[in-house]
Amino acid sequence: PIVVNLSLPSSSSLLFASLSRPFTHCAARSAFASRHSPAVSCTVFYITSRSYAKGKKSRMPPKKQVQEEKILLGRPGNNLKSGIVGLANVGKSTLFQAITKSGLGNPANFPYATIDPEEARVIVPDERFDWLCEKFKPKSKVPANLTVYDIAGLTRGASTGAGLGNAFLSHIRAVDAIFQVVRCFDDAEIIHVEGDVNPTRDLDIIAEELRLKDIEFVEKALENQKRKTRVGGQSLEVKKAKEEEATIEKILAWLKDGKDVRKGDWAPKEVEVINTLLLLTAKPVVYLVNLSERDFVRKKNKHLPKVAEWIKEHAKGDPVIPISVSYEERLTQFETEAEALEEQKNVGADSCIGKLITTMRKVLNLGSFFTVGPDEVRQWTIRNGTKAPQAAGVIHTDFEKTFIQAIVYNYSILKELGEEAEVRAKGKMMTKGKDYVVEDGDILLIKAGAAKG
């Protein structure tokens, strides 16, 4: 797939290059760059050192390392949702049809054709899953999936209720991450709500509307919080309320300074407060630059350099993927996947749909583990950094409560050695306990006790 690397010069032809890795809020933000995508370590270490007078021995041993789990922005859990967002008539519903291979009819050429959000689950493409299915030839194959919503179009003034603004903003609060579609194609037959094609203006509109709505949310939250602290006193509850009030004031100042919450460097306690507010600008974003099929194939577009500069200034680190929604929609019209692949070969441009889905999983900090056997090969979705008992709980809630241990080996080891017996013989099949952090691509066999009652 063709993607943007914002570190390249502002030449539209050069902007088509390999995607910079999506950011995370974790300390080890380069974890996804490794070959096997190991789980991200979301741990911050605080090492306390003690100085002693020369020649004197301390009777007290040095303090052990103190670990504090860094909390990620957003909802915890692995059943996370993404929403397709943008101004009206930028290609959102057509993209939804292409991603989900579903038919919503012919998307109407007028604003607000979508009112209630459409929902679908899409299969996550993964060569590891395909290889395991070929290896074990199971009776049942269950891939990972990602839930995607097609959300009503936004317009200028949405934060004050213009258009379907309130519906849009309430629906976007319910998702965990955003595909933001930006129109960069010219077509006189498709109406643009602002009158002409200007992607940086459109980006400004959406960014401003989301921030304004967040400011409204935060101002109400601050007002409610001040009611709690007016009672006074020195109790722990009042002290905590005052700390939360200070955090909310900090968030409000950040937003009024024109910054998105996801771009802040927040302490763990501050993140806890942010997560209760469900802020729109705290959600990770994957920018999709919608081109004509001609521009997509020739890898040039007059708007791309300005879009790249806007992202660099306002959303640095967020993934940007050029895509032709009309091309993707056309590929879905072929009766077989083989015919669609042949068309991609003839045109000289690959589909980007798989890349969109895998990139969204990365910005949501999602990974996978597998269970394998002749009966079933299944890919399970977890948040990176999940420990073995919680991973077992994804399979069945009782397994988390009664977890004993997990037999673990990674897909990469199995592929390298060929057989499970060889993995075991080489000592690569390990027994892990409750503190083991599951790595992306692990194959697990869970051992759990009987559930009580």
pLDDT on residue 118: 82
Question: Would 371 be classed as within a structural domain?
Answer: yes
Question: Would 323 be classed as within a structural domain?
Answer: yes
CATH number of the CATH domain containing 375: 3.10.20.30
Question: Would 355 be classed as within a structural domain?
Answer: yes
Which one, of 23, 71, 28, 29, lies nearest residue 274 by Cα? 71
pLDDT on residue 35: 36
CATH number of the CATH domain containing 353: 3.40.50.300
The answer to whether 334 touches 346, Cβ cutoff 8 Å, is no
Domain containing 413: what range? 365-448
Average pLDDT of the chain, as a whole number: 82
**Token pair for residue 80?**
């996370």
Residues 265 and 319 in one domain: yes
- Name the domain boundary from 317, 339, 362: 362
Q: Which helix (H) or strand (E) holds 70?
A: none
Q: Comparing 178 with 26, which gets the higher pLDDT?
A: 178
Mean pLDDT for 295-313 is 95
Residues 412 and 305 in one domain: no
pLDDT on residue 69: 58
pLDDT > 50? residue 4: no
Percentage of the chain with pLDDT > 70? Answer: 78
pLDDT on residue 156: 78
Residues 147 and 98 in one domain: yes
Burial of 105 (0-12, 13-18, 19+ CB in 10 A): exposed
Q: Comparing 292 with 44, which gets the higher pLDDT?
A: 292
Measured distance CA(175)–CA(186) in Å, rounded: 30
Question: Would 22 be classed as within a structural domain?
Answer: no
pLDDT on residue 111: 40
Side-chain-side CA neighbours of 170 within 13 Å: the count stands at 9
Residues 396 and 339 in one domain: no
Query: SS in 3 state form for 273-312?
Result: HHHHHCCHHHCCEEEEEECCHHHHHHCCCCCHHHHHHHHH
Residues 302 and 401 in one domain: no
pLDDT > 60? residue 15: no
Its pTM stands at 0.79
Long-range contacts of 246-252 (CB under 8 A, 24+ apart): 247/273, 247/274, 248/218, 248/221, 248/222, 248/273, 248/277, 249/222, 251/218, 251/277, 251/279, 252/215, 252/218, 252/219, 252/222
Q: Which stretch of 165-179, 351-365, 370-384 has the lowest confidence by average pLDDT?
A: 165-179
pLDDT on residue 8: 40
The answer to whether 376 touches 447, Cβ cutoff 8 Å, is no
pLDDT on residue 151: 85
pLDDT on residue 172: 85
pLDDT on residue 154: 78
Mean pLDDT for 198-210 is 94
pLDDT band at 63 (very low <50, low <70, confident <90, very high): low
Mean pLDDT for 92-118 is 63
pLDDT band at 16 (very low <50, low <70, confident <90, very high): low
Q: Which residues contact 330 (CB under 8 A, 6 or more apart)?
A: 293
pLDDT band at 88 (very low <50, low <70, confident <90, very high): confident
pLDDT on residue 331: 95
Residues 342 and 411 in one domain: no
Q: Which helix (H) or strand (E) holds 144?
A: none
pLDDT > 70? residue 115: no
Which one, of 358, 284, 341, 288, lies nearest residue 317 by Cα? 284
- Name the domain boundary from 327, 362, 397: 362
pLDDT, tens only, 120-130: 889 999 999 99
pLDDT > 60? residue 62: no
pLDDT band at 162 (very low <50, low <70, confident <90, very high): low
Question: Would 56 be classed as within a structural domain?
Answer: no
The answer to whether 100 touches 94, Cβ cutoff 8 Å, is no
Question: Would 206 be classed as within a structural domain?
Answer: yes
Residues 98 and 188 in one domain: yes
pLDDT > 90? residue 303: yes
Mean pLDDT for 5-33 is 41
Residues 314 and 417 in one domain: no
Residues 261 and 386 in one domain: no
pLDDT on residue 117: 60
Q: Comparing 343 with 5, which gets the higher pLDDT?
A: 343
Which one, of 75, 74, 80, lies nearest residue 145 by Cα? 80
Residues 402 and 327 in one domain: no
Question: Would 272 be classed as within a structural domain?
Answer: yes
pLDDT on residue 3: 45
pLDDT on residue 160: 65
Mean pLDDT for 363-377 is 96
How many domains does the chain contain in total? 2
In the block, residue with structure tokens 């692990």: 442
Q: Which stretch of 39-43, 104-108, 268-272 has the lowest confidence by average pLDDT?
A: 39-43
Q: How many residues does the chain have?
A: 453
Q: Comparing 435 with 168, which gets the higher pLDDT?
A: 435
Q: Which stretch of 137-146, 183-192, 199-208, 291-300 has the lowest confidence by average pLDDT?
A: 183-192
pLDDT, tens only, 211-224: 999 999 999 999 99
pLDDT > 80? residue 165: no
pLDDT, tens only, 290-299: 999 999 999 9
pLDDT > 80? residue 78: no
Q: Which amino acid is at 298?
A: R
- Name the domain boundary from 362, 381, 415: 362
Residues 111 and 234 in one domain: yes
Q: Which amino acid is at 214?
A: D
pLDDT, tens only, 215-264: 999 999 999 999 888 877 778 888 899 999 999 999 999 999 999 999 99
pLDDT on residue 196: 85
pLDDT on residue 238: 84
Question: Would 453 be classed as within a structural domain?
Answer: no
**Token pair for residue 82?**
């993404």
pLDDT > 60? residue 135: yes
pLDDT on residue 231: 75
Residues 369 and 338 in one domain: no
